[in-house]
Amino acid sequence: MHTLAAPVREVDDEVRQLVRDMAETMYAAPGIGLAATQVNVHRRVIVIDISETRDELLVLINPEIVAAEGLQECEEGCLSVPGVYEKVDRAAKVKVRALGAEGKPFELDAEGLLAVCIQHEIDHLEGKVFVEYLSRLKQTRIRARMQKQSRRAAAAA
Ligand code: NI
């Protein structure tokens, strides 16, 4: 979870398959975003869908935030930290540059939830999870709760 993801050199069949698998995992969870890091593939690939209809897949390969402005506080959750929802400060607007699912470069201006999601997922690629923005005390509590959960899961398995 704390490994730095490597850039994708070429959007080939393997990368396209990774994108399909990640989208499937995200929709099944269900979640609104997933970074390759979370499926233990350390490459710079993100999938996002914040639509209510769940049919607007956004694929960001080698994403890079080239401009950010403003501040917003949003309650975040993460498929890698189940059951934890906490408020985090993020830039209100971001401009992101990336390659799409077919390898074409594009730029996207995002705000609101989409901007939060992009920042959250790019953090995963940098080996960072949103709970690391929280106070020490909160992080300690979350860790204790997660250890208890994994002990329970081990007992059940
Ligand atoms: Ni996450």
Q: How far is the CA of 74 from the centre of ligand 1 (A)?
A: 14
Mean pLDDT score, 125-147: 93
Q: What's the pLDDT at 131?
A: 94
Name the region of 135 (left: φ>0; alpha: ψ -120 to 50; beta: rest).
beta
Q: Answer with the residue of higher pLDDT: 36 or 2.
A: 36
152 CA to centre of ligand 1 in angstroms: 22
CA of 22 to the centre of ligand 1 (A): 13
Distance (Å) from CA 12 to ligand 1 centroid: 25
Nearest to 106 by CA among 68, 58, 69, 43: 58
Which one-letter amino acid corresponds to residue 34?
Answer: L
Q: What is the structure's pLDDT at 70?
A: 98
Percent of the chain with pLDDT over 70: 99
pLDDT over 80 (residue 73): yes
Nearest-angstrom CA–CA distance, 123 and 117: 10
Active-site residues, by number, are: 121
Strands (E), the chain: 33-35, 45-48, 58-69, 72-78, 81-90, 93-99, 105-111
Residue 156 has pLDDT above 80, yes or no: no
Ligand 1 midpoint to CA 94 (Å): 18
Is residue 30 scored above 80 in pLDDT? yes
Which run of H or E residues covers position 22? Answer: helix 13-28
Closest CA to 72 of 51, 46, 94: 94
Q: Measuring CA to CA, which residue among 121, 93, 122, 123 is closest to residue 109? A: 93
The neighbourhood of ligand 1, an ion, using CB within 5 A, equals 78
Distance 123 CA to ligand 1 centre (A): 8
Copy the structure tokens of residue 155.
């007992």
- Contact yes or no for 87/75 (Cβ under 8 A): yes
Exposure letters 102-120 (e unless 16+ CB within 10 A, then b): eeeeeebebeeebbbbbbb
